[in-house]
Amino acid sequence: MHRALLIALAAGALALPASAQESHLAAERYDNQKVVRVTPRGIADIQLLERVSGDRWTCGPGGAAGEADYRVREADLRTLDQAGVPYTVIISDVQKLIDEERAGQDPFHDRAFFDAYQNYASVSSYVNTLAATYPSFVTRISLGNSIQNREIFGFRLTSPVPPLGGSPRKPVVFFNSEQHAREWIGVMVDLYIATQFLETYNTNAAVKSLLDTYEFVFVPLSNPDGYNITWTTQRLWRKNARTINGTVRGVDLNRNWGVGWGLDSGSSGSSTSDTYRGSAPFSEPETQILRNYALSVPKLVASIDFHSYSQLVLRPWTYQYTLPPGKAAFDRIGNAMVDAIAAKTGASYEYGGPDILYLASGTAPDWFFGTTGAIGLTIELRDTGLNGFILPTSQIIPSGNDGLAAAIAMVSGLCRADLNRDNFVDDADFVQFASAYDVFLTNSADFSGDGVTDDTDFVYFADGYNQFACP
Ligand code: 0X9
Ligand code: ZN
């Protein structure tokens, strides 16, 4: 082969392209590529890394001015050394990890669902199996279709115990994952939580009480097109499959939501960026679909948006450092979640706001909290950098137990009569309830979840009020 062509090909392969390849192309390879954890000394170091890498693995406690993880070629280490950039290699061969992950996916191996990562078709059929196995608990739902016309499906899960007060529907808790295509562990954790809820309903009093009180909506694959790219051509693809000028560039779905959208401090206006926010809030069908579903729910009380990696529980706001209303309640619930994870699996997670990560503008949790008032959290699952997005399959069930402990702690910690979210149920809440009750303000005083504020809600409020303390 012509020498110049060889060089061009090699350069192309190593240039960490920002566009997704067509699915008939061979999978991109990452031989000998590293992930380095950098402590930039200033903007020049960040610019250098953005130039040589182009693939920031985004998470990492320390924020924009602190540590950050980047995927780089072996030869780039010399460039970093010459420039004196402080770094440590946290993954020495990205392709090796991917190969090991692939080996764990042997389709002829008879394995249980949570022993391996699962593709779109397999996740879809698993949801059908859940619905067939637990017909009185699980209903499959279809929320709409992605850009490339894949169905975004999910399921509703609750016990057959009827909603209080004859309400048509229980208050809803929403769990979604996989806005970011390469964060495979989120899909498995979402499904693991649902499975454990179903399997332990009869033996675990806490789970029984949650399923008797609330309805849970699970959407395991919020970004099915991106997920398909990671299974076929680019394992490290993050965004959706939005085509711009004939090339699949992708929009970062977790920068496309309408609250806090469009800020350069936490997103990018450039379509080649991994945090491209899209041309307008909700420009993407995937975010529109999730938003529309959330708006169709009469009473949404809490939500978790699963991501990886870094082992964090993050509260709003993500787009600004200003503290959210009701921060006291977020702190109580977030700390309870972190403690519950540590008690169940021994994993160490950290709870906090954007100060422990970085600003992110136009995210799902900010929209959930900002628009519906529901508790809206991000969980960054395992690990802390040893394997990053390519988490070994042996970590699926342990991660599932992190998520399960966190989910139970969050919902058990909802203190719904604490309307002002100061962690006390007292006269101030009564006054707030009474004024909401007077004007039939459904979102804050609708305890039953039927979309209206009426006598039933008064009874619930009184019931919560009598306990005088948040869990
Ligand atoms: O950047 C994101 O969207 C999330 N991290 S990830 O590495 N999974 O992409 C975090 C978003 C939420 N929170 C804050 N940045 N505060
Ligand atoms: Zn993510």
The answer to whether the pTM exceeds 0.85 is: yes
Residue 378 Cβ inside 6 Å of ligand 1? The answer reads: yes
Query: Does the beta carbon of 179 lie inside 6 Å of ligand 1?
Result: no
Please determine, looking at this structure, whether the domain spanning 14-102 carries the CATH number 1.20.1250.20: no
Half-sphere exposure of 307 (CA within 13 A, CB side): 26
* Closest ligand, as measured to the CA of 68: 1
pLDDT band at 16 (very low <50, low <70, confident <90, very high): very low
CB under 5 Å of ion ligand 2: residues: 180, 183, 307
Going from the C-alpha of 97 to that of each of 16, 186, 390, the distances in angstroms are 17, 18, 7
Model pLDDT for residues 408-464, shown as the tens digit of each residue: 999 999 998 899 999 988 889 888 888 877 766 667 788 888 888 888 888 888 776
Q: What are phi and psi of 376, to 5 degrees?
A: -130, 115
pLDDT above 70: residue 13: no
- The answer to whether residue 12 scores a pLDDT higher than 60 is no
For atom 4 of ligand 1, which residue has the closest CA?
307
Q: Is the pLDDT of residue 14 over 80?
A: no
User: What is the position in ligand 1's atom list of the atom closest to the CA of 275?
Assistant: 1
CA 360–ligand 1 middle distance (angstroms) = 6
Rounded mean pLDDT, 81-90: 92
**Residue of minimum CA distance from atom 14 in ligand 1:** 318
Lowest-confidence pick of 77-91, 168-182, 271-285, 366-380:
77-91
Q: What is the pLDDT of residues 232-284, one digit of tens each?
A: 999 999 999 999 999 999 999 999 999 999 999 999 999 999 999 999 999 99
| pLDDT tens, residue by residue, 334-388 | 999 999 999 999 999 999 999 998 999 999 999 999 999 999 999 999 999 999 9
Q: Tell whether ligand 1 has an atom less than 6 A from the beta carbon of residue 182.
A: no
Q: Is 267 in the pocket of ligand 1 (CB under 6 A)?
A: no
Higher pLDDT, 53 or 288: 288
Class for domain 111-412, per CATH?
Answer: alpha beta
Ligand 1 atom showing the smallest separation from residue 380 Cα = 8
CB 402 within 8 A of CB 347: yes
Give yes or no: 380 in active site.
yes
Task: Give pLDDT, residue 101.
Answer: 86
Under the banding of pLDDT at 50, 70 and 90, the label for residue 106 is low
Burial class (CB in 10 A: 0-12, 13-18, 19+), 132: exposed
Question: Which residue from 276, 307, 369, 391 has its CB within 8 A of the most atoms of ligand 1, so it is best to mutate?
Answer: 307
| Run of H or E residues at 319 | none
Burial pattern 279-290, b for ≥16 Cβ within 10 A else e, equals eebbebbbbebb
Map out the domains of the chain as residue ranges: 14-102, 111-412, 427-467
